[in-house]
Amino acid sequence: MDFGFSQEDETFRAEVRDWLAAHAGAGTDRRTWERTLGKAGWIGLGWPEQGYGNRAATLTQQVAWAEEYARSGAPPRSGHIGENLLAPTLLVHGTDEQKARFLPPVAAGEELWCQGYSEPGAGSDLAGVRTAAVREGPHYRITGQKIWTSLAHEADWCFVLARTDPGSRRHHGLSFLLVPMDQPGRVEVRPIRQMTGTSEFNEVFFDGAHARAEHVVGAEGRGWQVAMSLLGFERGVSTLAQQIGFAEELAKVVATAAETGGLDDPVLRERLVRQWAELRTMRWNALRTLGGSGDPGAPSVAKLLWANWHQRLGELAVRVRGATAAAGPTAWSPAAPYELDAAQHLFLFSRADTIYGGSDQVQRTIIAERVLGLPREPKGAV
């Protein structure tokens, strides 16, 4: 292994491989699968503290777990937002009571989370948040709308960035609230049907939703600092697992090119080789920055690299098919939803890669201002 695994780590990898082989094909629904992972202690390997039902694992063992999980064909995760974003944030900014309340259910796969950041008028410019939270005794009353909320239709809880100081502007006066989703009449989730035909993203409407006052993370008014800290956790060993999936997608595109004669085209052949070389470069960059801290540009560089790479792969996936890429896997009928094959889904879904999680323009601005020290971009009044 090019990461430098010890014999102890390889033993751990074998344990992971055996467990996944025995359980990954169970065919359970996503929530039951999270509980299966939690019962075996596989959730929270990367948390710096133990005692919440999670196993202890070194950084290299976390890499082994992520890579073997990606290779196994195990079901997609529903709990990764709680495990990889909320939990590390609570470990840094949360109170002992918040950790004791929320981390064990995440580790057990019992409570699923979604992220309430983006709004119709505050996407890449997150400081434009307008969702308001007003303190009323032991609760906050929350009113506003979030959008592009991944897995909100499955989530039990949402961490919400809201404005608790009505006279504040930009990143001042924001708070990070933990909000239960099961509030009929106060929380409404509307799935967004995408051009892929699926609905992973949602609109979420808060109409007087309640959040307990003790469920403010990092104190009232310090939500911006907590929110930015959370965004820093979006990179890590999950990046290496993501690249395992990318490699499998690339292999399928190359195989299709071989079947259709696309490899005889020197231009197409050069693009495929470039995709392979860039994927290797991304892996080495991920290994180089793994576990590092204090580099404000690393997450933005990684996002620019993988988002554009994946988008180009989607374009290649249909190009190697030629004219047949325009035809679906089944006959079209106006009475039934259209269907896409894997290549078509990759092409359409990857169009969003350079937008969600911070658009390319925002990533370049972060690099320019925080790494290169260029003049800050003027911000309009909110």
Catalytic positions are 234
Query: Among candidates 161, 159, 186, which has minimal Cα distance to 175?
Result: 161
Separation CA 247–CA 281 (nearest Å)? 12
CB 133 within 8 A of CB 166: no
CB 19 within 8 A of CB 27: no
Distinct helix (H) and strand (E) counts, the chain? 12, 8
Q: How distant is the alpha carbon of residue 326 from its chain centre?
A: 30
Q: Which whole-number Å values give the CA distances from 58 to 89, 108, 123, 294, in the listed order?
A: 19, 20, 35, 20
Strand-pairing partners, residue 302, are none
Separation CA 236–CA 224 (nearest Å)? 22
CB 298 within 8 A of CB 285: no
CB 107 within 8 A of CB 79: no
What is the number of other CB atoms lying within 10 angstroms of the CB of residue 29?
A: 10
DSSP 8-state code for residue 132? E
Separation CA 28–CA 281 (nearest Å)? 36
Structure token digits, residue 97 = 């009571």
Query: Among candidates 270, 303, 119, which has minimal Cα distance to 205?
Result: 119
Query: Among candidates 273, 354, 272, 374, which has minimal Cα distance to 320?
Result: 272
H or E element: which one contains 144?
Answer: strand 139-146
Q: Which whole-number Å values give the CA distances from 370 to 123, 171, 355, 373, 381, in the listed order?
A: 20, 17, 20, 6, 22
Separation CA 376–CA 213 (nearest Å)? 36
